[in-house]
């Protein structure tokens, strides 16, 4: 609520992925609103959620419907930043790897929702810790916006994540949770001042790389 009061875009990192009525209840609770009797109540009312689509498209349909009806959006796990992600996501299935097939599904789910800036309301989670896979996905998913975890505490830097962005330096948002929230542990001083300084350092680091892309 506080973030919305400040005009911020709120992404709920819920990573839901279930079937049938359960998926519908999650979609209602986080995006569309929960109906009780004749009234509909906005519960969490996030602008966007993260989802796990590896159980299949039926687990995501309620969220996709909620996004279309309520002008909201979602990010689906495609190539995650954790060390063990390749155990499944990088397995070859037919003529492509599993993470590539999931990326193709995300691009398809986004059809019909592309906005004026060329990206759909169905985005992909693409870890900065895997720059080669990110490069493949960026070329493969031209209308898909990326949520990019792995920066900072997980070891990725701006140079590693540049492949997540398009030729104009656009097309993604970078997540840096622990690097900001726990900055006071490394920097000392007050929590808020340390967090602000970490954000400014991150901004400068990203602009150092993405600014060069934009200047080309």
Query: Catalytic residues, which ones?
Result: 15
Contact 177, 151 (CB under 8 A): no
User: Which position has the token pair 């397995």?
Assistant: 91
The residue ranges of DSSP E strands in 96-157, in sequence order, are 96-97, 122-126, 146-148
User: Between the CA of residue 30 and those of 2, 22, 89, what are the distances in Å?
Assistant: 16, 12, 27
Backbone angle region of 189, left / alpha / beta, with phi > 0 → left and psi within -120 to 50 → alpha: left
């Amino acid at each position: 609520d506080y973030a919305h009061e400040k005009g911020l875009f709120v992404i709920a990192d819920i990573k839901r992925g279930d079937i049938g009525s359960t998926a519908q209840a999650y979609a209602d609770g986080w995006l569309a609103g929960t109906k009780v009797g004749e009234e509909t109540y906005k519960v969490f009312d996030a602008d966007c959620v993260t989802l796990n689509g590896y159980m299949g498209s039926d687990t995501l349909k309620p969220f996709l419907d909620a996004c279309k009806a309520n002008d909201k959006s979602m990010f689906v796990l495609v190539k995650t930043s954790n060390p063990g992600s390749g155990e499944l996501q990088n397995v070859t299935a037919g003529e492509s790897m599993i993470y590539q097939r999931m990326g193709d599904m995300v691009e398809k789910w986004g059809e019909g929702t592309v906005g004026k800036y060329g990206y759909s309301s169905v985005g992909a989670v693409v870890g900065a810790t895997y720059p080669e896979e990110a490069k493949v996905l960026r070329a493969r998913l031209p209308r898909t916006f990326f949520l990019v975890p792995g920066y900072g505490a997980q070891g990725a830097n701006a140079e590693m994540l540049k492949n997540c962005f398009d030729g104009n330096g656009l097309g993604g948002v970078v997540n840096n949770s622990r690097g900001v929230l726990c900055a006071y542990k490394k920097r000392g001083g007050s929590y808020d001042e340390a967090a602000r300084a970490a954000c400014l350092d991150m901004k400068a680091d990203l602009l150092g790389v993405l600014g060069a892309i934009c200047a080309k």
